[in-house]
Amino acid sequence: MRPRNYLFALAAALSATLAPVAGLHAEEPVKGGTATFIMSPAPQILTSAMTTAGAEQVVSSKISDSLFTYDFNLNPQPLLAESYDVSEDGKTVTFHLRKGVKWHDGVEFTSEDVAYTTMEVWKVLHGRGRTIFGNVEKVETPDKYTAVFVMSSPAPGMLKSLAAQQAQILPAHIYKGTDPTTNPANLKPIGTGPFKFVSFAPGDNLVLERNPDYWNEGKPYLDRLIFRFIPDPATRAAALESGEAHIAPQNLIPMADLERLQASGDFEVTTKGYEFQNEMEMMEFNLDDPVMKDIRVRKAIAHAIDRNWIVENVLFGYGKPATTPLHQQLVELHDDTDVPQYDYDPEAAKALLDEAGYKPDANGIRLKLIVDPLPYGDHQNHIAAYMREAMREIGVDLEVRAQDFAGFVKRVYTDRDFQFTVNLLTGGSDPTIGTQRTYWTPSFKIGVGFSNGSHYSNPKMDEILVAAAAEMDEAKRKELYHQFQKLAMEDLPVFPLAAVESTTVASTRLKNHTIDANGTYSNFADVYLTPAP
């Protein structure tokens, strides 16, 4: 059995020749200075090894490195792992670790840290850990710089998920033998990353300083990196304009402000660096509902909605109308050839409703329905409001129901007392990480949030998804996911509305903030700040 060895150097050389990228500059970096980063919500702890919360991921990735980072096409690039081998059968993955890396307290980073974090933290406590690392049976550590993952079956998706936001490594010498969820180091982190912890004022700010002993010599360029937690969207824009902050990622600046900020010439907006998230605005139909069970009703609703209108007006053009359940950013897998489309066509919608037996009454009303938009940001509410108007045109009287996040999760995934949602679902860097959950029969579990909310079950679909998840051959995998996209749009348990593009707004003085697929989730070792004019 000859292992396949993956060299990063080639991939790195290739990616360097790619088209110029927002925030990537070739000139001599400026050393020193303090960059201020706007974040909201405020992180509650300072490690992301055991949480999927966005703020924790963004701040802690600067403090602690991961095995890999990923270029814009999601090819792994070396960080703490210098190279890796995968055995022929895909069941053994060996990571060759970088030598001479030190934790911020001076202890050496070794394979022991990788083994501990994988088996006792990621697999047990991380939100997606059981999906990503479920097949890892044990991690062997033949020497200090080699970590061997022994798998029960191959998991090609795992290799796409080893960046800091999914898989941050914790120091075993500090965590081992403790309850990681209450370890004091969660609030005073010790990492391997380019920045060291200085102070944390919960709800206010986090101050990090340059790690002079960083393994990548000469980096980072910044002396200090400050995070400020600003809950009010208008205040965030003000903080950028007053010059107090330099960067705000993840749509933290209201889309309505983007044009003004860009026009000033002091700020640039980029949609790169979110290749990992692949968020989709989607309608989940409750297939347990007697009305929604009828595919003609679902198709009628799909035809009644103008996805272009949603992209133009709700997302301010930051997105694309969805054509399949997969985000267009998943360039290697997204494929809409021969995939059924439901173009905006109110007449077709009415015909489908006629066929389903929903004739208009004296007031022109055929059907009363209720939509539950996900209360997370404003987009889902705006889309639901648009739908109410659009549905009226085909004789559907739509009520928009409001509740808070916990109430929504309980209604949809526990009580199952809903007809359809407007939801924001994260596709992830690979369909096995996110999208599969929406369509796979075993994912339907009462009480489990954002997991097959439709209660969709098609044995053929399950077969495709399981085969694709373990398929090591790229071409075969692509073909399987093409079949998935076709079947998903034929059965229509979920109607994908829009592939969302998230935005990062940054001062034009801040360079290199988005140089790979991790965007502002990366470690910021390359970021520098040019002097104020």
User: In the complex, which residues of this chain contact other proteins (CB under 8 A)?
Assistant: 36, 41-42, 44-45, 51-53, 126-131, 181-183, 186-187, 198-199, 201-207, 224, 226-232, 234-235, 238-239, 241-244, 403-411, 413-415, 426, 433-434, 437, 445-451
- CB nearer other proteins, residue 385 or residue 448: 448
The CA angle 438-443-444, to the nearest 5 degrees, is 95
Taking the CA atoms of 506, 508, 509 and 515 in sequence, report the sign of the dihedral they define. Answer: positive
- CB nearer other proteins, residue 283 or residue 412: 412
Least distance between other proteins and beta carbon 414 (Å)? 7
- CB nearer other proteins, residue 176 or residue 478: 176
Least distance between other proteins and beta carbon 102 (Å)? 24
Least distance between other proteins and beta carbon 110 (Å)? 26
Tell me how far apart the alpha carbons of residues 325 and 331 are, in angstroms, rounded to a whole number.
13
What's the number of CA atoms in the CB half-sphere (13 Å) around residue 274? 24
513: nearest Cα among 503, 526, 502: 526
- CB nearer other proteins, residue 164 or residue 390: 164
- CB nearer other proteins, residue 392 or residue 411: 411
Least distance between other proteins and beta carbon 108 (Å)? 27
- CB nearer other proteins, residue 73 or residue 205: 205
> At a CB cut-off of 8 Å and minimum separation 6, what does 59 contact?
39, 43, 46, 206, 227
The radius of gyration of the chain's CA atoms, rounded to the nearest angstrom, is: 24
DSSP letter, residue 502: -
DSSP letter, residue 127: T
Least distance between other proteins and beta carbon 129 (Å)? 7
Least distance between other proteins and beta carbon 225 (Å)? 10
Tell me how far apart the alpha carbons of residues 321 and 328 are, in angstroms, rounded to a whole number.
9
Tell me how far apart the alpha carbons of residues 400 and 385 are, in angstroms, rounded to a whole number.
7
Least distance between other proteins and beta carbon 425 (Å)? 10
Tell me how far apart the alpha carbons of residues 489 and 299 are, in angstroms, rounded to a whole number.
10
- CB nearer other proteins, residue 75 or residue 426: 426
Q: Are 261 and 240 in contact (CB under 8 A)?
A: yes
Least distance between other proteins and beta carbon 128 (Å)? 5
- CB nearer other proteins, residue 5 or residue 414: 414
Least distance between other proteins and beta carbon 386 (Å)? 24
* DSSP per-residue letters across 394-450: TTEEEEE----HHHHHIIIIII---SEEEEEEE--SSTTTTTHHHH-GGG--TT-TT
- CB nearer other proteins, residue 24 or residue 448: 448
- CB nearer other proteins, residue 209 or residue 306: 209
Least distance between other proteins and beta carbon 238 (Å)? 5
SS3 for 438-482 is HHCHHHCCCCCCCCCCCCCCCHHHHHHHHHHHHCCCHHHHHHHHH
Structure tokens of 255? 């889309």
Q: Are 511 and 29 in contact (CB under 8 A)?
A: yes
Q: Residue ranges of the alpha helices (H) in 305-397?
A: 307-309, 346-355, 379-392
**How far is the CA of 330 from the CAs of 74, 209, 325, 326, 470, in angstroms?**
9, 35, 11, 7, 18
Tell me how far apart the alpha carbons of residues 76 and 161 are, in angstroms, rounded to a whole number.
9
Least distance between other proteins and beta carbon 277 (Å)? 13
- CB nearer other proteins, residue 200 or residue 420: 200
